[in-house]
Amino acid sequence: MTLRDEELLLRRLATEFCESEVEGARLRIEREGVPGPLLRRAAELGFLGALAPPELGGSGLDARSYSVLLQALSKCSTSLAYYVFVQNSLFIAPIIRLGAPEQARPLVEEVASGRSAGTLAQDLFREPGNPLSMQSSRLEGEADFVPLPRAAHHLVLVRASDRLALSGPGEVLEEYRLVGLRGVAFGRVRYGGDADVLPAPRAVDALRGLMEEASLGVAAMALGIAERAVEAAAQYAKDREAFNSKLAEFQPIAFYVAEAHAQLRAVESYVYSESPDPVAAKLLALDLARRASRMSIQVHGGYGYFEDVGIERLYRDAAALSSILGGREADLVSLARRILGDSAARI
Amino acid sequence: MRRRAFSSGLLDMSDPWKVLIAMEEFCRVDPGLGLSAIASMFGSEILMLFGSDAQRERYLAPVMRGEMISAVAVTEPTGGSDVAGARSTMERVPGGYVLNGEKMFITNGTVADFYYVLARTSPPDSPEKRHRGLSVAIVERRWPGVTATKLRGKLGMRATDTAEVRFEGVRVPEENLVGEEGKGFYYIMTFFNISRVYVAAQAVGIAQGLLDLYSEYLSRRYGSRPPPEGAQFLLAEGITKVEAARLLTYRAASLIFQFRPDPALTSMAKYYAAEVANEVAQGVIAAMGEEGLRGRAEKLYRDAKITEIWEGTSEIEKLVIYRQLTRRSGS
């Protein structure tokens, strides 16, 4: 793949930030969440407002540059990349696209500057458990799997009225970490207060469309996981000795690395191609991330199993990313129906 | 819990089938906890096969009552699967040996009462004959010079204890040498050819546990109507592979338990069952959506990975299979 100059610059900026400020805090992020000072730096560098227009304090990145950013961050800390993704793809993009300008402007500025955080509560990819409702301007009900449940601003999908509501923080009933992305808390939230309604009608379809676009960002984060997995495996194979040889001298180990490298380059070319299908990109990149991270642990042997080496988290993060915004099945169904028509892949 | 597993008769080494099935069923539910109970007798086969009566009386009997915990200290920081590359040394002194060395990823390292330690008692004749000159000794954790440090932050199997163990000038009395000096590599390999079948059982249990969870998920999601064919296929393919892995495991075990082990078959069982466990884990976790990211499914997903690594990685198993095959066709 060939990156444009500004994309190369952005990648270098993100990589330098990761090497100098994130790498050392990696385990702390996993245990306690992304620390405040790191978020302020991410805001200064324009990452928290990556998709916001410059007039609202954002970087105004296009989809490709945004992918470059997410891949570079994810390579170092997928939790941090996901935090940036939540702010941009799950809050800024929907509120700009579906909100009234006067609703969006102040909040986008706040989130892009890192003064407060936004999040999205939606149940597009699962049976709605405790349905939300909107009566006059009162939002009632619960949402589960809300990322950053303590964020100041919540976009909430209300299926019953097919609208998106904008609410302050609800009551966090339960807070938990998933198998991966441990630096980002998820939670079950009860809403029961005043909320604004975004003017856009047919919010379910509109949000589905936005989530489909966001799939490219998920693919980029998955590529970051795969890239780290392959590079680390290659390095370890060159360094580690066993049976009087370097690991890399053994054909099977060398082939693992070579195959994963080839697959990585192919999927990467697709993600950064002229007009990739975001869902296809996500499917391919996540399958690769799960395979490559498993391979990398295998090459590292017992050491790969421990968190301080930084490989096992790739395996966990790949699993979390695979299911967090619609799993493999949902992606395959959507792709199949586009190719074969709406009656394809009945559920 | 450990003592109950023994007193209830589940863990009864006089009937190894019981132990194998307990391993599989424990891992189906909770690999970390299940293993913590069973691994308290880790390494016992070494004494059963090669120990003296006095050693069995002193060390094995309390382990079999659930009163003592044993550990196998073979892997080294620089060695991993390369067992013959061990750098720990046992130097002969009057009345016994002095042990120096470092062991890595030792299950039960900080909780064991004693370790079965592999160390070099004489230098190898040549790099190709590194497996000669190694010996096994029983070393108690409370002896001077032994330090065990717990390793934290594992991907899975978090309920088990894993440690780095250092031996610095540890006096090992003559009577704690297991079997003959210089035959340690053979003893340990014989042990691994037995213990690997238990790893295969772990993997079968984990894979079955994941399919159990996936079935439960499908019934919750679809109620009495059948799930889509994609889900049916995932389950059908998974259960087929689990059944194949289980049969291979039981066949290898039956030969071991009849005292005519087939190391190739044991390695096949371990390699294949571990691969099935990880394939099923990856398939199920990707198919369960958000529900799979919390609770028991994600735990089993994390626990599955180690079965491809410990007691010889899958790569080592394949080497063993090849060597056994060529040995057979050569004879």
Range in A86-95, A125-134, A169-178, B264-273 with the lowest mean pLDDT? A125-134
Confidence at residue B170, expressed as pLDDT on a 0 to 100 scale: 98
Arithmetic mean of pLDDT over chain A: 95
Confidence at residue B175, expressed as pLDDT on a 0 to 100 scale: 97
Strand partners, B164: B149
Confidence at residue A219, expressed as pLDDT on a 0 to 100 scale: 98
pLDDT of A128 higher than 70? no
| Cα–Cα distance measured from residue A246 to residue B250, given in angstroms and rounded to the nearest whole number | 36
Which of A27, A305, A316 lies nearest to residue B306, judging by beta carbons? A305
ipTM: 0.93
Chain A closest-CA separation from residue B174 CA (Å): 31
pLDDT of A304 higher than 60? yes
Chain A CB contacts of B313 under 8 Å are 298, 301
Instruction: CATH 2.40.110.10 in chain B: give the residue spans.
Output: 69-182
B286 CB within 8 Å of a chain A CB: yes
CATH number given to A118-199: 2.40.110.20
pLDDT band at A130 (very low <50, low <70, confident <90, very high): low
Of 1.10.8.100, 3.65.10.10, 1.20.140.10, 3.30.300.130, which CATH number belongs to B186-326? 1.20.140.10
Confidence at residue B281, expressed as pLDDT on a 0 to 100 scale: 96
| Cα–Cα distance measured from residue A265 to residue A271, given in angstroms and rounded to the nearest whole number | 10
Three-class secondary structure of residue A17 per DSSP: helix
Query: Do A300 and A259 meet the contact criterion of CB atoms below 8 Å apart?
Result: no
A5-112 classified as CATH 3.40.50.300 = no
The mean per-residue pLDDT over the stretch A203-226 comes to 97
Confidence at residue B127, expressed as pLDDT on a 0 to 100 scale: 79
A127 CB within 8 Å of a chain B CB: yes
- Fold designation for A205-340: Butyryl-CoA Dehydrogenase, subunit A; domain 3 (1.20.140)
pLDDT of A173 higher than 70? yes
pLDDT of A93 higher than 90? yes
Q: What is the pLDDT along chain B (331 residues), one digit of tens a residue?
A: 888 888 888 888 888 999 999 999 999 999 998 888 888 999 999 999 999 999 999 999 999 988 999 999 999 998 777 888 899 999 999 999 999 999 999 999 999 999 999 999 999 888 788 889 999 999 999 999 999 999 999 999 998 999 999 999 999 999 999 999 999 999 999 999 999 999 999 999 999 999 999 999 999 999 999 999 999 999 999 999 999 999 999 999 999 999 999 999 999 999 999 999 999 999 999 899 899 999 999 999 999 999 999 988 999 999 999 999 998 776 5
Catalytic annotation on B24?
Answer: no
pLDDT of A1 higher than 80? no
Nearest to B146 by CA among B112, B95, B121: B112
* R_g over Cα of chain A: 20
**DSSP secondary-structure letter at B227?**
P
Query: Do A126 and B290 meet the contact criterion of CB atoms below 8 Å apart?
Result: yes
Domain B69-182: give its CATH superfamily. Answer: Butyryl-CoA Dehydrogenase, subunit A, domain 2 (2.40.110.10)
* Model pLDDT for residues A235-248, shown as the tens digit of each residue: 999 999 988 899 99
Nearest to A75 by CA among A132, A19, A158, A5: A19
Confidence at residue B208, expressed as pLDDT on a 0 to 100 scale: 98
A241–B78 CB contact, under 8 Å: yes
Task: With both helix axes pointing from N to C terminus, report the angle between B184-222 and B263-287 in degrees, rounded to the nearest 10.
Answer: 30
The mean per-residue pLDDT over the stretch A186-207 comes to 95
B31 CB within 8 Å of a chain A CB: no
* Model pLDDT for residues A327-344, shown as the tens digit of each residue: 898 999 999 999 999 999
What is the length of chain A?
Answer: 347
Residues ≥6 apart with Cβ < 8 Å to A334: A212, A279, A326
Name the phi and psi angles at B74, rounded to 5: -115, -50
Instruction: CATH 1.20.140.10 in chain B: give the residue spans.
Output: 186-326
Give the number of A-B residue pairs with CB atoms closer than 8 Å: 122
Query: Do B34 and B212 meet the contact criterion of CB atoms below 8 Å apart?
Result: no
pTM for the predicted model, two decimal places: 0.95
The torsion angle over the Cα atoms of residues A313, A316, A322 and A325, rounded to 10 degrees, is -80
pLDDT of A94 higher than 90? yes
Residue A172: half-sphere exposure toward Cβ, Cα within 13 Å: 16
B294 CB within 8 Å of a chain A CB: yes
